[in-house]
Amino acid sequence: MKRRIQIDPRTKLLLTVTINIITVSAPQNGWFLYILPILWGIPAILLLLYQKYKIASYYLILLVSVTTFQYTVAPYIHGVLFFLSLGIISISLRLLPGIMMGYFLLSTTSISELVAALEKLHMPRGFIISLSVMFRFFPTLNYEYIYIQQAMAFRGLTGFSMLLHPVKAMEYRLIPLMVSASKIGNELTMASLTRGLSAPNKRTNVSQLQFYLQDFLLITTCIVVWLIFIWEVFL
């Protein structure tokens, strides 16, 4: 299905860095009372525009639920429950937007587009190789995890039986996953080097990157947010 909007990978990288750092570091007062909700909403809007409705709806429901809980129930809780709820609220509002932005970057950017974007940003060759391997690593490891779960089901270690045999469940899941992770990392690194990613001469790329109006709007938003953050925190 054709996308309704195109966003340059460089813009996605800038948004990911901005949202992760600002949502974690910025104080929840002053200008950031208005800026933080905007940053929380950007991943949801982008996911909806790229037609990832399921994950966007989960994110919005969780975000609205946590925000509502923060201003309605949390002020009346005391003791251990207060600190527990404070931790849940902090994790959800501080870390979740950055995680969702990272998911958006990973799920909507091909390796070719990522490499082209990093090369245009004149990133070091070693950094490009490492990041391209990482982008391939996690999806491949996810498939391996699914296969391990299927193998555990054949052994009868599913659902309630995993609670009865926690050591076996840990052994049959963790050890194969660690071996697969090591093997996948080596294979992906060799594949990248075989394709000439470490070659000293300039490489061609089929991905044609271009900034659109939405890219300029998002980049301007990031610049304004960073200027306010520097003014509020450091000046």
Type of residue at 178: M
Place 1 in a pLDDT band, splitting at 50, 70 and 90.
very low
DSSP 3-state assignment of 7? coil
Each residue's pLDDT tens digit, 41-94: 999 999 999 999 999 999 999 888 888 888 888 778 877 787 788 788 878 888
Each residue's pLDDT tens digit, 117-172: 888 888 887 787 777 777 777 777 788 888 888 877 777 766 666 667 677 777 77
Exposed/middle/buried for residue 71 (C-beta within 10 Å: 0-12, 13-18, 19+): exposed
Higher local confidence (pLDDT), 71 or 201: 71
Mean pLDDT of 205-225: 89
Q: What is the pLDDT of residue 41?
A: 93
Residue bearing tokens 């990832």? 52
Decide if pLDDT at 2 tops 60.
Answer: no
Decide if pLDDT at 206 tops 60.
Answer: yes
Token couple for 169:
């469940």
Mean pLDDT of 5-9: 88
DSSP letter at 197 equals T
Dihedral over Cα of 56, 62, 63, 64: its sign: positive
Mean pLDDT of 92-104: 90
Each residue's pLDDT tens digit, 169-190: 777 777 888 888 888 778 777 7
DSSP letter at 203 equals P
Please, are residues 141 and 181 in contact by the beta-carbon 8 Å criterion? Answer: yes
Token couple for 228:
């306010």
Please, are residues 216 and 122 in contact by the beta-carbon 8 Å criterion? Answer: no
Each residue's pLDDT tens digit, 81-96: 877 887 888 788 889 9
7 — alpha (psi -120 to 50), left (phi > 0) or beta? beta
Mean pLDDT of 26-36: 87
Query: H helices of 26-124, where?
Result: 32-49, 53-72, 80-90, 96-108, 111-120
Kindly give, in sequence order, each residue whose CB lies less than 8 Å from that of residue 144, ignoring residues fewer than 6 positions away: 176, 177, 180, 181, 184
Higher local confidence (pLDDT), 131 or 215: 215
Please, are residues 173 and 152 in contact by the beta-carbon 8 Å criterion? Answer: yes
